[in-house]
């Protein structure tokens, strides 16, 4: 597996998008809460592939997405606007790319421009 920080941030982001807590992911994946905490917070340096597949499936992504945050599925089609953004991003130097990423993160964090996500699993069960 790649860098543990890679999958920890991807899992945390996907959980946040779904409004899930660790208990929700455990319920959806069948992976023990303690094991999930160890994976999510980087205590487990080499989690088993079956557990990672279960986590990925529960989060609605592939194993590739978990271990590589830059992964883009081959069948994913980008809009013209997304292509233009990526093209412009690639023309920036490292500092410019960092600034662009910070601006996008700020836009998301304000909540004003963020897409709505479906309710978390615990909310659906309750």
Mean pLDDT of the chain: 81
Q: Give the model's pLDDT for residue 3.
A: 44
Comparing C-alpha atoms, which of 13, 39, 10 is closest to residue 117?
13
pTM of structure: 0.55
On the 0-12 / 13-18 / 19+ scale of CB atoms within 10 A, 98 is exposed
Which DSSP state fits 114?
A: P
Q: Give the model's pLDDT for residue 95.
A: 95
Task: Give the right CATH number for 4-67 from 1.10.260.40, 3.40.50.180, 2.70.70.10, 3.30.2020.30.
Answer: 1.10.260.40
Average pLDDT for residues 44-73, to the nearest whole number?
A: 84
Find tokens 């960092």 and name the residue.
Answer: 98
Q: Give the model's pLDDT for residue 57.
A: 95
Domain ranges of the chain: 4-67, 80-125
Q: Give the model's pLDDT for residue 120.
A: 42
Q: Give the model's pLDDT for residue 75.
A: 62
pLDDT tens for each residue of 12-33: 989 999 999 999 999 999 999 9
Q: Residue 76 pLDDT more than 90?
A: no
């Amino acid at each position: 597996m790649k860098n543990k920080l890679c999958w920890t941030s991807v899992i945390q982001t996907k959980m946040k998008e779904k409004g899930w807590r660790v208990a929700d992911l455990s319920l959806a994946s069948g992976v023990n809460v303690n094991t999930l905490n160890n994976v999510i917070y980087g205590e487990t340096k080499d989690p088993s592939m079956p557990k990672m597949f279960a986590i990925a499936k529960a989060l609605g992504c592939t194993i590739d997405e978990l271990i590589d945050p830059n992964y883009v599925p081959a069948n994913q089609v980008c809009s013209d606007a997304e292509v233009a953004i990526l093209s412009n991003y690639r023309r920036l130097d490292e500092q410019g790319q960092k600034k662009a990423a910070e601006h996008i993160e700020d836009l998301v964090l304000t909540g004003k421009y963020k897409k709505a996500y479906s309710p978390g699993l615990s909310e659906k069960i309750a």
